[in-house]
């Protein structure tokens, strides 16, 4: 294989804030035994920017630090995954994927709160329950 035949490395997509949930399950079915779909943080961010924040694709692409066509592909992938989960009653799990956080984000292992620690407040404790059992989410 020539160097010119190799695909480009995927650029990391900037995510402002991680999802506030680990996943969703369909109500009224035995969802624990169902298949699941992995929704990457960058796909969640694309849905949030386009459908929740009502940004145009070129504006959202700038926020994520990617091209508009790349944003459109990520957005389409997210929509298809969510549609498949709804129609086929599958669980949706959020996974880190190919993203980079705008800031360092942490998750509390005790109360599952997600937070970022502003400069100067590096106490190492969860602001919600004061537990010191926290881990970095930017992985």
Q: The domain 3-101 is classified under which CATH number: 1.20.120, 1.10.10, 2.30.170, 1.10.3470?
A: 1.10.10
- Is the pLDDT at 83 greater than 90? The verdict is yes
pLDDT in tens, 90-118: 999 999 887 777 677 777 888 877 777 65
Q: What pLDDT was estimated at residue 118?
A: 54
- Is the pLDDT at 138 greater than 70? The verdict is no
3-state helix/strand/coil string of the chain: CCHHHCCCCCCCEEECCCCCCCEECCCCCCHHHCCEEEEEHHHHHHHHHHHHCCCCHHHHHHHHCCCHHHHHHHHHHHHHHHHHHHHCCCEEEEECCCEEECCCEEEECCCCCEEECCCCCCCCCCCCCCCCCEEECCC
Domain boundary assignment for the chain: 3-101, 103-139
- Is the pLDDT at 39 greater than 90? The verdict is yes
**pTM for the full predicted model:** 0.71
- Is the pLDDT at 56 greater than 50? The verdict is yes
- Is the pLDDT at 10 greater than 70? The verdict is no
């Amino acid at each position: 294989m020539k160097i010119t035949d190799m695909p480009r490395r995927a650029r990391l997509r900037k995510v402002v804030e991680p999802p506030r949930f680990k996943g969703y399950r369909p109500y009224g079915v035995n969802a624990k035994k169902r298949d699941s779909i992995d929704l990457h943080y960058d796909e969640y961010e694309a849905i949030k920017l386009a459908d929740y924040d009502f940004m145009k694709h070129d504006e959202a692409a700038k926020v994520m630090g990617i091209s508009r066509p790349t944003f459109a592909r990520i957005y389409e992938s997210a929509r298809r995954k969510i549609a498949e989960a709804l129609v086929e009653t599958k669980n949706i799990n959020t996974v880190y994927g190919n993203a980079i956080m705008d800031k360092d984000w942490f998750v509390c292992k005790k109360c599952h709160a997600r937070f970022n620690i502003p400069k100067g407040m590096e106490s190492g404790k969860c602001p919600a329950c004061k537990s010191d059992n926290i881990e970095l989410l930017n992985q």
